[in-house]
Structure 1
Amino acid sequence: MTWSNEDWWPNLLRLDILDDNVYGGSPYDEDFEYAEEFRTLDLDAVKADIEDVMTTSKEWWPADYGHYGPLFIRMAWHSAGTYRTLDGRAGAAGGLQRLPPESSWPDNINLDKARRLLQPVKQKYGRKLSWGDLIVLAGNVALESMGFETYGFAGGRVDEFKSNEAVEWGPETEWETTSPERYKEGEAGNLKDPLANTVMGLIYVNPEGPNGEPDVEGSAKNIREEFDRMAMNDEETVALIAGGHTFGKVHGADSPEEHQGPEPEAAPIEEQGLGWKHDFDDIGGMITSGIEGPWTDAPIQWDMGYIDNLLGHDWTSVKGPGGAWQWHPVEADEIEHAPGAQDSSKTEQPMMLTTDVALKHDDDYREILKRFQENPDEFQKAFAKAWYKLIHRDMGPPERFLGPEVPEETMIWQDPVPDADYDLIGDAEAAELKEDVLDSGLSTQQLAKTAWAAASTYRDSDKRGGANGARIRLEPQRSWEVNEPAELETVLETLEDVQAAFNESRSDDVRVSLADLIVLGGNAAIEQAAAEAGYDVEVPFEPGRTDATQEQTDVESFEVLEPKVDAVRNYLGEGDYDDLYDSPEERMVDKAELLNLSVPELTALVGGMRALGATYDGSDRGVLTDRPGALTNDFFVNLLDMDFEWVPVDEDGYVFEIRDRETGDVVWEATRLDLIFGSNSRLRAVADVYGAADGEEKLVEDFVAAWSTVMQLDRFDLE
């Protein structure tokens, strides 16, 4: 074994996750545009090819009931279902299911076969059809092939070629385990951020029940927490589980431990990436979960069979042939049996999972099930919309959606913004507005912080947030502590006055939105700060942002975007880090990864904003300069100066005094978010460049470039 730096020094701050923002590992050229390639597809022809694969059973992996539809639904579900709201990571985008760890998760057993079945389709269409899109589209085609009317499909998922190592899956070191460290204060049902799944290596919850026991009450509690963390309410949760379990079966012909080979990433080279090898003849069937049986008597047909079975029969927990807990009907002779998955002359008795029976025993879930049973059309529509949300939740705004099957409706979870019904400002108007903003009485610090607060909510993981929509003036963002609500109100009122005066003065149709003005004001502040340091710069600006309404903003959904730490504004939050990130600097790197920043970009942004004095609550912490407001390299010069020493002043080691070594006088205060740029070797290596005698101009250039990038991250209308 070759040890890595992380193995030698486990507490080393992991900055390598930012490297993927620079080096993506894609084999395609830099000018490759997947959207342009996808638009050349004949989607009907692609779907016909998938349908052909789906209904042609292969001897090397025979289809249940002669139809791979249920397998493809599971593949799509498990690809999209990893999405979690708290950091927007995972999901179907990137086709990450074909890469570790997802490719070898216990919950993804035999989905490697589903992707191999689709290999001819991928080979035929090549770069025009990503694996991310193909996996999801195959799930849609499967539903349609078995009689279900889907709500739509959108392409646009660009493939990744390297695992996203920024995703934290949990503290456990063994698969299919749940440790107390997964929960806040060790309490089950209170997952640490940003987790959603309750078991290491499973997509959602343990189908046998919490800790592998048939506890329906605990299972319902886990389901509600898990599905809430993937942005699903109770109705959507029931619709998804009931709709998905209308199809197919689970496989547990025998014990997995005794008959399964190693997972794909551990399989021998001659298996060529296939895993979990076992001999069907020896065990008389397949093994996936270790649970055995279908849910209904018609496993490849859309109907009400799942809900009717669940509500219409009493169920008792038993150990199945695979040694796992499952549920059988108390009166077995009163339930319709399904044909055998591989031999239609035989029959199979329907079963239920603990997670299924949990829906029946939870009062709220049961009421929804009954309503669906009485109103099948309502169930169909609910599942169609919930499925559409499941497979598209990580794609961001509808501007990114591609293809002829994109619905006309824009859903609230897509964070809609209105179209501009006016002419956009040009260069002359932008210059006029920058002067108006700088003459408004607002400081460069206020303007820079407000623009940063608006734009830096963006997450590249699920393309949410950003300055577009000017949601910083709406709940919940205007009340976030990090945004200093009282000062923010003053800034917004002043900017609204500037906006109103400009718009009312126009005799033409040119108007400026508050969203554009917030960014323009930040740009003006940066240009003025650069001028104070002796540099003439112009920050790039593209108009076109519009202002969302409160009705277009899902308050609860936006709460998860609230920063607990903001290194650029030197905001430490409450210091309560009862999650998977142990320190403010780890949160800093996590946020930088979500903003798609490199190590130099992160360093330049922090150093530049410190020079401006644009810190939370106007604090002097980290403002290591005697001339705040000028875009200098003083932060790096003084941080690296060995004439100073650094002394912690609190028990947690979050705040420090910077003292003159000779006199002992306190010159400045700083936080961990400052000192890490001198402490960490990689960050210090970059800080050396910016702090050098000839480094200031480089800092100004890099800061302006990084600032402009963040301001434009959500401008999908420009792509």
Structure 2
Amino acid sequence: MDAKTGSIEGGCPVPHGEAAARGLLGRTNKDWWPEMLATEILNPNGPSNPMGDDFDYAEAFNALDYNALKADLTALMTDSQPWWPADYGHYGPFFIRMAWHAAGTYRTADGRGGANSGQQRFAPLDSWPDNGNLDKARRLLWPIKQKYGQNISWADLFIIAGNVAIESMGGPVFGFGGGRPDVYEPERDIYWGSEDKWVNENVQTRIAPEHGMHELEGPLAAIQMGLIYVNPEGPGGNPDPLQSARDMRATFERMAMNSEETVALTAGGHTFGKAHGNGDPSTLGHAPAGGDLVAQGFGWVSGEEHGGIGEHTVTSGIEGSWVNTPTEWTENYFRLLLDYEYELVKSPAGAQQWQPINQKEEDMAPAAWDASKKVPTMMTTADMALKVDPEFREISERFRNDHEAFKDAFARAWFKLTHRDLGPKIRYLGPDVPAEDLIWQDPVPAGNNPSDSLVAEVKQKIADSGLTVSQLIKTAWASASTYRKSDFRGGANGARVALEPQKNWDVNEPEVIAKVVDTLNGLRGEMSLADAIVLGGVVALEKAGAGDVPFTGGRGDATQEMTDVESFEWMEPEADAFRNYMPKRLAVKCEELMLDRASLLGLSVPEMTVLIGGLRVLGANHGERGHGHFTNRSGELTNDFFVNLYDMTNVWSSVEDSNDEEYVATDRAEGHEKWRATRADLIFGSNSELRAVGEVYAQKGGEEKFRKDFVRAWTKVMNADRFDLHRG
């Protein structure tokens, strides 16, 4: 299977069979919790935001008393509350887990998930089994959030609390960048999977045990529904460390981590705290999304007489700490893991875990609620993977022998984990932003804003170059349309369309890209290539009759050395409805993928509609494909796509052997062929909502509105990654 997007030959980023009817989003909150209040009925035109459209979070954050916030968080770490007492009197490990799980949903395939909007506050994430009892961590933070108000978002607070937790226990921290504005309802465009059972209810994993993680559905990363990464007991609860290593390697890779980062994060995170399984899991109540009204948002309330808190807490079901020093940064994790032999045992809650054989008393951990008592440490099956898997073992041995290297690797991996979805470094706020530029931040040198005279000079040279409207439009679109609002990656800034791997993506027609880039490099003078590519699109549109098209320069040019080729490979589309590109049949309808791509671009339905219609008549289709090119005025920005699509003299039929992917229109009276189309074309006539928008552009007087709306939407895409102009 193709792990990125998934063809029929190789899997799919959406569910199959009955689940495919759910479209891209899989199961919804209403599927899991039918009684949940449907507040979205009040937001028919998009997400609600009580802060208002004019609220500037960057401005609010910059007014924050940052040092006071960190001091308050440090004090909170040891301010144990009786309603949810701190293990060992220190909340640090609890907040590390909260921050990790807020960030750890990120997946590199579509950039969705992650910490950048505080989604852990909402279903389904607030009620995932893997997020058990983190509702209490968030509630412990409420007095601090209340105190600092709009100056700190929940999304930023989750991450900085994790950083302070590590620092308060002597651990290494690489830095912190703020700038994550909150959202106020679940992000409904994220596909979390199609299963109807959570991990704790289902022994089946998302792939067959004898197969590799490449079978996992396209954008997903976790091995079972409701997990952040892997099942700590082993795949489907099977305590096989080698199988667990396989799952860890692949799922961390899908979350943008290599093997060294995987070992560093696992070991560093498990240097602190304990797991909780000292009770009867059958007494736990519903998760927060299905909890009682009087619980006021708390979930997993225990029905046991002692309340199921403190030493009786059940979360994962695994019980015990990994090391004998659970509130200090030490070298003990690798020592205990590698020096002892382990045997498989069960926790009081019945979970599979591993215990050292003949453990020395000095290597035992203090009991969380009575430091005078000693209890054995433990390892999960996922920890044992670091000991048993040859590659993980080699890294573990190296880190054990070089603690400074381990500290640096953990600090950097933690920073990457918690900032991977924040976007380019220009978006980072605060005094703890590291000076070092990291390749996963997709660095781009600052560009120079070209003078009006240079812009005019280069525009004229492009216009006289012999490059066609189609070639210029294709190149500008290929450059800018890589942007995705999920993790703020891609876009025209940097001109990475001229670098590996993008310059060789099939969807980008490498020969066209190479010709345009070579020509522009000879014409642009001191202007950046990134600006020249976008300016080429402006020239093309003005040639096509769009009128004056705005242009804002100032982009920089990245180099190949600044480009993480492997990371960018995940962004290659196997289908693109905007360019009518679908070289092979996929297991999901192309119109579904069209909506997904439009969503990642941050487009509305009218913006998507007008862009599709304009790109078709401008000749932006991949190759020489004429499907959807409903015009006899090719290269002119007209509303012909909609006028001719809605022409009632057309009779549409599926082309034989096209698997309902290709269609032909014949003249109703004369019977001759008029047009060819794909699903991505005809959906604008068959879907009532899309048709309603398209008819606005097809009706009398609609052509001028069409041109203005197209230019506006085009410019939005060209500038989507201009964080020097807006926060995104």
TM interval, short-chain normalised: over 0.9
2:458 equivalent among 417, 426, 433: 433
Query: What SS is found at the alignment partner of 1:647?
Result: strand
Equivalent residue letter for 1:112: D
1:44 Cα deviation after fit = 1.1
Residue of structure 1 in register with 2:36 after alignment: none
Query: What SS is found at the alignment partner of 1:568?
Result: helix
Equivalent residue letter for 2:602: N
Equivalent residue letter for 1:261: G
Query: What SS is found at the alignment partner of 1:699?
Result: helix
Residue of structure 2 in register with 1:686 after alignment: 693
Q: Is the 8 A contact 1:21 1:596 kept in 2?
A: no
Output one character per residue of 1:99-118: Cα deviation in whole Å (capped at 9) or x when no partner: 11101110001100000000
1:14 Cα deviation after fit = 8.0
CA distance in 1, matches of 2:360, 2:450: 74
CA distance in 2, matches of 1:57, 1:14: 40
Q: Is the 8 A contact 1:180 1:187 kept in 2?
A: no
Residue of structure 1 in register with 2:322 after alignment: 295
Is 1:447 aligned to residue 472 of structure 2? Answer: yes
Q: How does 1:247-266 map to 2 (within 5 A)?
A: 247-256=272-281, 258-266=282-290
Residue of structure 1 in register with 2:96 after alignment: 73
1:432 Cα deviation after fit = 2.5
CA distance in 2, matches of 1:685, 1:14: 24
Q: How does 1:26-45 map to 2 (within 5 A)?
A: 26-45=49-68
Residue of structure 1 in register with 2:608 after alignment: 602
Residue of structure 2 in register with 1:227 after alignment: 252
1:183 Cα deviation after fit = 4.5
Q: Is the 8 A contact 1:677 1:683 kept in 2?
A: yes
Q: Is the 8 A contact 2:528 2:556 kept in 1?
A: yes
Output one character per residue of 1:631-690: Cα deviation in whole Å (capped at 9) or x when no partner: 111101111122111111134211111111222211111111101111111111111111
CA distance in 2, matches of 1:275, 1:481: 49
Residue of structure 1 in register with 2:389 after alignment: 362
CA 1:390–1:557 in 2, change beyond 3 Å: closer, same or farther? Answer: same
Residue of structure 2 in register with 1:270 after alignment: 294
CA 1:186–1:631 in 2, change beyond 3 Å: closer, same or farther? Answer: farther
User: Structure 1: 5+ residue runs without aligned partners?
Assistant: 1-6, 504-510, 532-536
Output one character per residue of 1:593-613: Cα deviation in whole Å (capped at 9) or x when no partner: 100000000000000111212
Q: Is the 8 A contact 1:397 1:414 kept in 2?
A: yes
Q: How does 1:86-125 map to 2 (within 5 A)?
A: 86-125=109-148
Q: Is the 8 A contact 2:232 2:381 kept in 1?
A: yes
Query: What SS is found at the alignment partner of 2:544?
Result: helix
1:574 Cα deviation after fit = 2.4
Residue of structure 2 in register with 1:668 after alignment: 675
Residue of structure 1 in register with 2:405 after alignment: 378
Relative to the length of structure 1, the TM-score reads 0.93
CA distance in 1, matches of 2:422, 2:347: 39
CA distance in 1, matches of 2:494, 2:484: 15
Q: How does 1:204-223 map to 2 (within 5 A)?
A: 204-223=229-248
Is 1:640 aligned to residue 635 of structure 2? Answer: no
Q: Is the 8 A contact 2:203 2:237 kept in 1?
A: no
Equivalent residue letter for 2:92: G
Output one character per residue of 1:562-599: Cα deviation in whole Å (capped at 9) or x when no partner: 1121111111132244xxxx111111111111000000
CA distance in 2, matches of 1:12, 1:302: 46
Output one character per residue of 1:373-403: Cα deviation in whole Å (capped at 9) or x when no partner: 1111111111000000000000111000000
Query: What SS is found at the alignment partner of 2:445?
Result: coil
Q: Is the 8 A contact 2:203 2:236 kept in 1?
A: no
Is 1:527 aligned to residue 548 of structure 2? Answer: no
Q: Is the 8 A contact 1:178 1:198 kept in 2?
A: no
CA 1:590–1:180 in 2, change beyond 3 Å: closer, same or farther? Answer: farther
Equivalent residue letter for 1:677: F
2:483 equivalent among 458, 467, 473: 458
Is 1:345 aligned to residue 352 of structure 2? Answer: no
2:584 equivalent among 574, 595, 601: 574
CA distance in 2, matches of 1:202, 1:411: 28
Residue of structure 2 in register with 1:705 after alignment: 712
Q: Is the 8 A contact 1:172 1:179 kept in 2?
A: no
Query: What SS is found at the alignment partner of 1:332?
Result: coil
CA distance in 1, matches of 2:105, 2:258: 16
Q: Is the 8 A contact 2:73 2:161 kept in 1?
A: yes
More displaced 10-residue stretch of structure 1: 245-254 or 323-332 = 323-332
Q: Is the 8 A contact 2:205 2:223 kept in 1?
A: no
Residue of structure 1 in register with 2:636 after alignment: 630
1:23 Cα deviation after fit = 2.7
Q: How does 1:463-474 map to 2 (within 5 A)?
A: 463-474=488-499
CA 1:280–1:224 in 2, change beyond 3 Å: closer, same or farther? Answer: farther
1:42 Cα deviation after fit = 1.8
Residue of structure 2 in register with 1:586 after alignment: 592
Q: How does 1:388-427 map to 2 (within 5 A)?
A: 388-420=415-447, 423-427=448-452
1:419 Cα deviation after fit = 2.4
CA distance in 1, matches of 2:592, 2:69: 43
Q: Is the 8 A contact 2:205 2:236 kept in 1?
A: no
What percent of counterpart residues are identical?
53
CA distance in 1, matches of 2:296, 2:489: 37
CA distance in 2, matches of 1:319, 1:9: 39
1:259 Cα deviation after fit = 1.5
Q: Is the 8 A contact 2:49 2:183 kept in 1?
A: yes
Equivalent residue letter for 1:349: P
Equivalent residue letter for 1:156: G
Output one character per residue of 1:305-335: Cα deviation in whole Å (capped at 9) or x when no partner: 1111100101111121111110011223466
Q: Is the 8 A contact 2:494 2:558 kept in 1?
A: yes
Query: What SS is found at the alignment partner of 1:56?
Result: coil
Output one character per residue of 1:329-376: Cα deviation in whole Å (capped at 9) or x when no partner: 122346611111122232221000000001110111101111111111
Residue of structure 2 in register with 1:317 after alignment: 344
CA 1:585–1:115 in 2, change beyond 3 Å: closer, same or farther? Answer: same
CA distance in 2, matches of 1:525, 1:407: 41
Residue of structure 2 in register with 1:3 after alignment: none
CA 1:574–1:186 in 2, change beyond 3 Å: closer, same or farther? Answer: farther
Is 1:327 aligned to residue 333 of structure 2? Answer: no
CA 1:179–1:592 in 2, change beyond 3 Å: closer, same or farther? Answer: farther
CA distance in 2, matches of 1:621, 1:492: 26
Equivalent residue letter for 2:555: R
CA distance in 2, matches of 1:529, 1:651: 33
Query: What SS is found at the alignment partner of 2:198?
Result: coil
Query: What SS is found at the alignment partner of 1:328?
Result: strand
Residue of structure 1 in register with 2:619 after alignment: 613
Q: How does 1:156-195 map to 2 (within 5 A)?
A: 156-176=179-199, 182-183=206-207, 187-190=211-214, 191-195=216-220
Query: What SS is found at the alignment partner of 2:315?
Result: coil
CA distance in 2, matches of 1:677, 1:46: 51
CA RMSD of aligned residues (A): 2.2
Output one character per residue of 1:667-716: Cα deviation in whole Å (capped at 9) or x when no partner: 11111110111111111111111111221111111111000000001111
CA 1:179–1:442 in 2, change beyond 3 Å: closer, same or farther? Answer: farther
> How many matched pairs?
690
1:548 equivalent among 531, 538, 558: 558
Relative to the length of structure 2, the TM-score reads 0.92
Equivalent residue letter for 1:30: D
Q: Is the 8 A contact 2:654 2:662 kept in 1?
A: yes
CA 1:41–1:50 in 2, change beyond 3 Å: closer, same or farther? Answer: same
1:426 Cα deviation after fit = 2.6
Residue of structure 1 in register with 2:74 after alignment: 51
